[in-house]
Amino acid sequence: MDWDALGAMGEIVGAIAVLATLYYLSNQIKINSKQVEKANDYQRAQSTLAGNDYYLRVWQPLMQDAELASIYLKGIKEEPLDAVGEFRFCTYINTFLAWMEAAMMQIKSELSFSEFNDNTDDMAALFEKANPYLSKLLNTSVGRKWLEEEAQSLFADEFLENLYKYGPLADKQKSA
């Protein structure tokens, strides 16, 4: 056998080794992709569970505490509240908006609420769904006062921008 024949055989063996390596790597990429997809699905499920748990924490006090439920009803009906009642109503508003902010972050990171992750403006869709309820809270004198005096120091600027852009007070902001 001459050197040319050995060189040709070496190239063939090398080409087979390259093909085998590429086959192995493509299988590893498929396996890794499946694992990443499973991890993403798990994270979405955990995020959804956490969001639902937080949502329950928003509503549960109203269901279990008759006094708080009474304060809530007085607040949305614009009936007079004493200082403690006003504080508790504002705390409820804060809790609800904290849940909204968490939902916004989940949507932005595409971890949950997949119905918003299409080609629409996700934040507009979120606020459109929440606005009837937000209107009950923020279109009250106590709610507006809390929003003007307290919310700025409690929430991220991005959330507040979206609240004013898409929230129930957006029309009032445009006309003002």
113 Rama sector, left if φ>0, alpha if ψ -120 to 50, beta otherwise: left
**Enclosing domain of residue 125:** 3-175
Query: In this predicted structure, what is the pLDDT of residue 144?
Result: 92
With beta carbons less than 8 A apart as the criterion, state whether 126 and 107 touch: yes
Query: In this predicted structure, what is the pLDDT of residue 74?
Result: 96
If one counts the domains in the chain, the total is 1
Given the structure tokens 């809270």, which residue do they identify?
Answer: 137
Query: In this predicted structure, what is the pLDDT of residue 118?
Result: 53
Q: From CA 148, how far away is CA 150, in angstroms rounded?
A: 6
Q: From CA 176, how far away is CA 166, in angstroms rounded?
A: 15
Encoding tokens for residue 168?
A: 């129930």
With beta carbons less than 8 A apart as the criterion, state whether 162 and 104 touch: yes
Query: What are the per-10-residue average pLDDT scores of the chain (176 residues)?
Result: 87 94 96 93 82 84 93 95 95 91 82 55 82 91 92 92 87 49
